[in-house]
Structure 1
Amino acid sequence: MSFTMERSGISDRALALADRVETFVRETVVPFERDPRLGAHGPSEELSKELKALARDAGLMTPHILEDGGHLTQRETAAVLIRSGLSPLGPLACHTCAPDEGNMYLLGKVASPDLKERFLSRMIAGEMRSAFFMTEPAEDGGAGSDPSMMLTTCVPDGNHWVIKGRKTYITGADGAGMGIVMAKAEEGACMFLVDLPHPNVRIERVMNTIDSSMPGGHAVVTIDNLRLPADQMLGDAGEGFRYAQVRLAPARLSHCMRWLGACIRAHEIAVNYTNRRQAFGKPLIDHEGVGFMLAENLMDLKQAELMVYWCADVLDGGARGTVESSMAKVAVSEALMRVADRCLQCMGGQGVTGDTIVEQVFREIRAFRIYDGPTEVHKWSLAKKLKRDWTKAQNP
């Protein structure tokens, strides 16, 4: 490997688990990267089930969640999820992928014992996928990066709530067994758990997008008078935005972990190619224009890794980590975009083919710069914090 992954400050238990995940992904999952069941809207359900069965047999299903229901620390989780990301299919196989990983974290923190038994236990076992219904179509004037614009409503009706609205970019809705639906009530934002498929949750279409690693793709969904029992509300009425923050910081960071793993692998492929490919009497890597790009990759990969572990330590210290995860999301996604772009450039024509995963990683990282908040929204939020802090300092 041309990049040495961090091992300091991580327990022996977590390191051993991470090593097992890496071996499993490299030896068992990677051969599926050219499987014909990979499509424009992600791996097929058949392929997903096959990969999860292999992970289950290897004892690596949802490896970051322990047998007693506990969770690895964020630093330990980073060691595991980075390695699961060494293949675009690794997070799917090990059930560490989005949106499931973030949804499991949220349910573990907020759900009632009954809801955990009904939904979370099946998710941890890899028996079903989930979806998170928050973003709304721009043409409706609904919520995107600004969730306060939410138009989806929920109205109490006896011991039930009735939910109505439209959602978009809903990852994995097609084929999911459970959904977390955000809607607005008089009390404020609320979250509900719904069994899927449901006749009142209709997929209008699955969009064609630049990325293709997530089963079910990204859907536009109509929620038409969905009637749910009150006990399927997640937590308390009006607390939906606060719960979204509980989910958001770790979920942003998990994205960084997984895609860091993918870019480490893309870098390995580029290093291998440029050492073997000859041009003008010597290997490509001996040409400074190529070798320097790979050297820059090493620096960006290490800086991204350090940012991941720094943010993980902040979350492990008990902080909410919203600001830190914003910084990590921007810094890591932008660094990994540079890495993926250089890998593709170094490999020339081979880089833009589907013969390796480099082309896919490039596409996936480009999408990563947008989802969970585009770079510009995070910078805007950070600038607002700088202004607030300055104003507070001027008026103690």
Structure 2
Amino acid sequence: MTRSPHTAPPRQRTPGRGTDSNPETRFDRYARVAEDDGWAVSEDEDLPTLRTEVRDESPRRVITRNTSPDIGFDRSINPYRGCEHGCVYCFARPSHGYLGMSPGLDFETRLIARPDAPARLETELRRKGYAPATIAMGTNTDPYQPIERDRRIMRGILEVLQRFRHPLSIATKGSLVERDADILSEMSGQGLARVGVSVTTLDAGLARTLEPRVPSPARRLKTIERLARAGIEVRVMASPLIPGLTDPELESILQSARDAGAVAASWIMLRLPFEVSGLFEDWLEIHAPGRRDKVLARLREMHGGKTYSAEWGHRMRGEGVHAALIAKRFDVAVKRLGLVEHLPPLRCDLFQVPLGDARQPSLF
């Protein structure tokens, strides 16, 4: 949990959360500042525990298109809005502002599920003139966050894509992806699917504060091993790398993932959009005060004096001596370990619209 040194004492217990503050978004007309009213909360006071709440949403479409020149896909699906994993550095936190909620605690505890996503997806894939290309999953929030265990929305989406023989890629930190190894193994064998597993650090203690509800680093390496054993093509994503904090682990992360069965690797530098920057600086102040100045100085060096720049082609890696050094270290390690950065494109030529649908299969 990250408690901002600038906020009043909490009125609820927030165990296992990345933050317990709820800062405003850039869309809010007014800013609210929490002030201590003098009625201090005793440390032994039995405060209620904040629980995760989930609301359902029924979107008209589930495939989101993008034209970003520095992203290797043009379409994606997100079964959920918000993410219970609670990674304090998550670049997707500001997206909750579009819903009138905070990128802070709201992002972790007020989630939106899309139970109709599999049916909507099937409708979109059946549209005349639809041209297949890899659908990326986990691009904003994790499709295998804890609520997927009961909701099974991601499972339903995979079943649709499997029937249509549609290519997909998955990015996740969740070990729940192992549940769907039966579908992913078959699709991977046809050149239709691959999975990326994010490993930010090998330090379990550090991971517990950075990513409070994510499986431990060792557990994620086990996930890589189990997926690879099932014949699924796995990429390790050393993302995000935090300069001055986790970047010394780069080679160890790649080595451990290769030994577990990963065949490819990638990395992205820490990204701190406007609303996330304050949350992460508070986290540094509380959990790594001795590293705070170094981390922030490295980030400013990479982004022209700011902690982040959203420029195309720049935002993922930064620039300058330190960014170039990390890129070189990655290239050398990947070559030494026999990993690859670029895998062949997934197949689109197998795409076929089934005669029937899940509710009314074809007789032929």
User: Under a length normalisation based on structure 2, what TM-score does the superposition of the two structures give?
Assistant: 0.29
The structure whose residues are more often strand, as a share, is 1
User: Under a length normalisation based on structure 1, what TM-score does the superposition of the two structures give?
Assistant: 0.27
The structure whose residues are more often helix, as a share, is 1
